[in-house]
Structure 1
């Protein structure tokens, strides 16, 4: 513990075991142990929780808003987006229109023409 120096700690709370930890705010404290106590008093006075995390703000590594290339996609995966589903429906309808019925399959296997 550094004497007389307070750090900013970001506080994350998990309300039950199936929930994710959620950021609820920040506290000033001289140590992680005291940050836990201060966070409990500030953010869990009326709420119940099963877990609380405190992380020194200096220990958080984040992307820069000035670096949009970090999130650029290497390959086109637009088919995974919701907007691609209408195109999939159109392609499926085209496929079904060209689909052969069982008699046409048998004729094709025998080499017969339609």
Structure 2
């Protein structure tokens, strides 16, 4: 008996759908069916009548290759790509706000000129 074959008659199928032309395929559910055509019909009946769908994929579970445990471990070691994530730039907004607060505005600069005039008047 095959891995995805239940009771020698039914097989497990995975259903993927796409809601719009620009969207990605998403896994929706698994179903049991005697063959590929029946699985497709069952997927249409169970899913397409409830939600708008542009495309539908029905795939026999045993045809999907999954990663082996040793392959998962290898990916974990190679998955050190924090430098690619943009979360490291989150502090820039706060830093920019502090910089802007410390910047001199026009009124403050003009007040320096007035202070200089007052100082000159007192010395004269």
Common fold: TM-score over 0.5 = yes
* Aligned residues of 1:79 and 1:85 also touching (Cα < 8 A): no
Query: Secondary structure, in 3 states, of the residue corresponding to 1:70?
Result: helix
2:61 pairs with 1:51: no
**Structure 1 residue runs without a partner (length 5+):** 90-114
Structure 1 stretches of 4+ moved >6 Å: none
* Root mean square deviation, CA, Å: 2.5
Structure 2 counterparts to residues 8-87 of structure 1, below 5 A = 8-65=12-69, 67-73=72-78, 77-85=81-89
1:68-91 Cα distance to aligned partner (Å, 9 max, x none): 2233228x643212354379x7xx
- TM-score between both structures, scaled by the size of structure 1: 0.60
Q: Offset of 1:11 from its aligned partner?
A: 0.2
- TM-score between both structures, scaled by the size of structure 2: 0.56
Which structure shows the higher helix fraction? Answer: 2
- Residue 93 (structure 1) aligns with: none
